[in-house]
Amino acid sequence: MLLLNDLKITRSELHDLLPSQNAEDLEEFFSHLAWSVICEPGDGFAGLLVSALGATAALNSELQNLTSQSVKMSLLESGISASELDRFGVFEVAHHAARERWRPRLSLGAVKQAISKMQQIKGFMLTPVSAGWPEQLSDLRYNAPMALWVRGSQTSLDRLSKSVAVVGSRGATTYGEFATEAVVAALVEKGISIISGGAYGIDAMAHKSTLALQGNTVAVMAGGIDKLYPSGNSQLLKRVTETGAVLSEMPPGSIPTKWRFLQRNRLIAALSHSTIVVEANWRSGALNTATHAQTLEREIYAVPGPISSPKSAGTNKLIAEGRAQLIVDSADLLERMGIQAKVPTQLELSGLGAIEVRVLDAIGFDSLEIAEICSAAGLTRDEARFGLGNLELEGLVARRGNAWAKTQTTL
């Protein structure tokens, strides 16, 4: 019970703690940060309480140790339907379990420490009440993050309204790196921001390629952003903070655990308008990102690869199962994303019909009269004339006196 009381904080203390924050939404802002410290990512029960009651009221109900019955009444009064609550099972049981999870972390000290750490590293925080909160995160509903802890620029986050996630295997092959560069180049050229996870391999290549092209890139971390993880990418991630952003829903000091990596992937998927998996083996985290994108009904694309490459097994399988669209090339990707209209290729324009092909076959390397063409091609005079007319329009045959010949010998 001592820990509970510990979170009580006066309004003037709040002002001192968050001097640059609007007075208007100060408490809601702080309460969201507190929830971000208290919960593991994707805690749907916390999400329910916060989205229905507001972060402060939800926090107070916990600090005051209100009965489950009373919390349930508040939820129903807020407009949450009884059937919606049923999704969490017996409400009292779910609430009791949630309290048991939250209680050991209900510490004012931890929240203050996280905020002060962010101030030290010149980071900033965003919550759903902040201007500049990425609206697309609301598609996660109760599993939306409570806050984002950010190093970098707000402008970079604003540009995520046009963004694509590019993710893949940590152990990328040369082919995967090539494909990442190709895909990123096509997107960045169209002003699209690139979101990834900052990991080794494809993720790193996605960030690097975007930086090289002076595009906007955002890295979403599984743990606290006081440490740029993995350490081998810390220089790269530092460069990302300089023009783009590195962010996490976990406060500084949080360790990146496997669970948090899996939950981090839902943020990558939710922040992006579509997700591209470049290389992934059968059990890659990138496939988990694709699953989140699928749940959110966002488009998923995958780069195909050799059936002999384990790093393409996961992407090929995504495509085979109809979960991802196959990327043929950059032009095709942009077209299917609705970014660029398709321009018909010369080959498609010059598609020949059956009669034209038979006439060309008949002519071969010779110069033939129509009667000869008919006999050789097994066509009627009218058909042969029709075919020759079309071929002449295409510039593929020319008349020489009474005979016809090819203008070129490409066939």
Residues found near its own copies in the complex (CB under 8 A)? 39-40, 43, 96-97, 100-101, 104-105, 175, 178-179, 182, 257-259, 262, 282-283, 303-308, 312-313, 316-317, 319-320, 325-329, 332, 347, 354, 357-358, 360-362, 374-375, 377-383, 411
Nearest to its own copies of 163, 284 (CB atom): 284
Nearest to its own copies of 24, 100 (CB atom): 100
Nearest to its own copies of 122, 258 (CB atom): 258
Nearest to its own copies of 114, 313 (CB atom): 313
CB of 269 to its own copies, least distance (A): 17
Nearest to its own copies of 18, 326 (CB atom): 326
Nearest to its own copies of 120, 380 (CB atom): 380
Question: How would you write the chain as a 3-class SS string?
Answer: CHHHHHCCCCHHHHHHHCCCCCCCCHHHHHHHHHHHHHCCCCCHHHHHHHHHHCHHHHHHHHHCCCCHHHHHHHHHHCCCCHHHHHCCCCHHHHHHHHHHHHHHHCCHHHHHHHHHHHHHCCCEEECCCCCCCCHHHHHHHHHCCCCEEEEECHHHHHHHHCEEEEECCCCCCHHHHHHHHHHHHHHHHCCCEEEECCCCCHHHHHHHHHHHCCCCEEEECCCCCCCCCCHHHHHHHHHHHHHCEEEECCCCCCCCCHHHHHHHHHHHHHHCCEEEECCCCCCCHHHHHHHHHHHCCCEEEECCCCCCCHHHHHHHHHHHCCCCEECCCHHHHHHHCCCCCCCCCHHHHCCCCHHHHHHHHHHCCCEEEHHHHHHHHCCCHHHHHHHHHHHHHCCCEEEECCEEEECCCCC
Nearest to its own copies of 290, 303 (CB atom): 303
